[in-house]
């Protein structure tokens, strides 16, 4: 890896990319955490997954636009990565790229992102795999380790350059400078996320946080009640407590309600909502095409009218 880039490109990074990568890493770390039973039994998490914080990495693509020598990174999406073969799920990547093209037709895949303290040799394999989409992809690396003494953002942007090392041409990573670019909507969103913390009374500072706290409490209460019922049924099955037919009937009635989502009425309602959404999308597309066609007709009429005036004036002379 070289110290600095010589391409002359100017990179502008939007806060939404940093928020997305941080959220991706947090969700991945939470899903990879040891089970609750292991923590309850006093098992050390480091003994289950040694060096977990160093090996956990997430991968995704960054999208945006390039205007001349300025590269502006607006958004990102996740990727499926196989760490054993160092390969990406190309079908998933193409599907996500197609979906983003429908919503943001001017955005292109500029490169990819990952988490870690520094670029690794295996990262070049992913980098080369994306060159068929972008001939010079950008690599955004975020260090998730907390360093209170560090004042700068733990974000590094790399480019790739071909250098001759020991008479052998090799593609290496070179570090590039960047600036943080924000728009009004992003400033409001980032400020909203920054204030998602409990206040003095223990309640949330915003309505969104209060809503999420209420949902979390409801799910936690539901989980605890299901756990109590499960332990009770296990004890009844083992003969530790006498059986109660009335309770068993209530449990059976509750279980019969679970497959209600697979009923025919639910499928009909889902298809109706789905078709209505597609219809609205098609109508919006037709409206956009009609507006574009009207603009083209107006331009054609204006150009034809000017041409007719010039021809008539020449004939009169």
Residue 297 and residue 148 in one domain? no
Inform me whether the pLDDT recorded for 38 exceeds 60. Answer: no
| DSSP strands (E only) in 152-213 | 155-165, 168-176, 178-180
Residue 121 and residue 230 in one domain? no
Q: Would residue 226 count as lying in a domain? A: yes
Residue 62 and residue 126 in one domain? yes
Query: What whole-number distance in Å separates Cα of residue 264 and Cα of residue 283?
Result: 28
Nearest Cα to Cα of residue 190 among 17, 72, 12: 17
Res 307: pLDDT: 60
Residue 174 and residue 292 in one domain? no
Res 204: pLDDT: 44
Q: Would residue 174 count as lying in a domain? A: yes
pLDDT classification of 312: cutoffs 50, 70, 90: low
Domain count, the chain: 3
Q: Match 């960047």 to its residue by tokens.
A: 178
Query: What whole-number distance in Å separates Cα of residue 43 and Cα of residue 37?
Result: 9
Res 309: pLDDT: 58
Query: What whole-number distance in Å separates Cα of residue 16 and Cα of residue 246?
Result: 54
Query: What whole-number distance in Å separates Cα of residue 18 and Cα of residue 5?
Result: 22
Query: What whole-number distance in Å separates Cα of residue 153 and Cα of residue 266?
Result: 48
Beta-carbon contacts of 188 under 8 Å, excluding residues fewer than 6 positions away, are none
Residue 157 and residue 290 in one domain? no
In terms of residue numbers, what domain contains 108?
Answer: 10-31+54-194
DSSP letter at 51 equals T
Q: At residue 90, what are phi and psi to the nearest 5 degrees? A: -65, -35
Query: What whole-number distance in Å separates Cα of residue 233 and Cα of residue 238?
Result: 9
| Average model confidence (pLDDT) across the chain | 79
Residue 122 and residue 15 in one domain? yes
Nearest Cα to Cα of residue 12 among 151, 192, 183, 174: 183
pLDDT classification of 248: cutoffs 50, 70, 90: confident
Residue 111 and residue 162 in one domain? yes
For the segment 269-311, what is each residue's pLDDT rounded down to a tens digit?
A: 888 888 888 888 888 888 888 888 888 888 888 877 766 655 5
Residue 285 and residue 150 in one domain? no
Q: Would residue 39 count as lying in a domain? A: no
For the segment 178-230, what is each residue's pLDDT rounded down to a tens digit?
A: 988 887 777 777 776 666 555 544 444 556 667 778 888 999 998 998 899 89
């Amino acid at each position: 890896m070289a110290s600095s880039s010589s391409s002359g490109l100017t990179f502008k990074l939007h806060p939404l990319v940093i928020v997305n990568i941080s959220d991706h890493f947090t969700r991945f770390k939470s899903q990879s955490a040891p089970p609750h039973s292991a923590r309850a039994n006093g098992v050390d998490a480091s003994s289950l997954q040694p060096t977990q914080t160093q090996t956990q990495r997430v991968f995704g693509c960054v999208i945006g636009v390039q205007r001349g020598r300025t590269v502006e990174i607006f958004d990102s999406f996740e990727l499926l990565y196989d760490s054993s073969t160092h390969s990406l799920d190309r079908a998933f990547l193409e599907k996500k790229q197609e979906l983003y093209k429908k919503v943001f037709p001017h955005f292109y895949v500029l490169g990819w992102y990952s988490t870690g303290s520094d670029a690794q040799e295996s990262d070049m394999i992913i980098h080369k795999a994306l060159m068929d989409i972008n001939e010079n992809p950008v690599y955004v690396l975020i260090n998730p380790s907390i360093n209170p003494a560090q004042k700068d953002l733990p974000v590094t942007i790399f480019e790739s350059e071909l250098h001759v090392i020991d008479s052998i041409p090799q593609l290496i990573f070179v570090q590039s400078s960047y600036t943080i670019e924000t728009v009004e909507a992003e400033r409001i969103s980032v400020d909203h996320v920054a204030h998602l913390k409990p206040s003095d009374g223990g309640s949330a500072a915003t309505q969104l946080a209060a809503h999420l706290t209420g949902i979390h409490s409801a799910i936690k209460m539901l989980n605890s009640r299901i756990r109590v019922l499960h332990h009770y049924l296990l004890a009844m099955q083992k003969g530790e407590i006498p059986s109660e037919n009335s309770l068993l009937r209530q449990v059976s009635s509750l279980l019969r309600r679970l497959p209600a989502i697979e009923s025919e009425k639910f499928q009909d309602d889902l298809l109706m909502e789905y078709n209505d959404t597609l219809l609205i999308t098609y109508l919006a597309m037709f409206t956009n095409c009609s507006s574009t066609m009207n603009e083209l007709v107006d331009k054609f009429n204006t150009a034809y009218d000017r041409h007719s005036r010039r021809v008539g004036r020449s004939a009169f002379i």
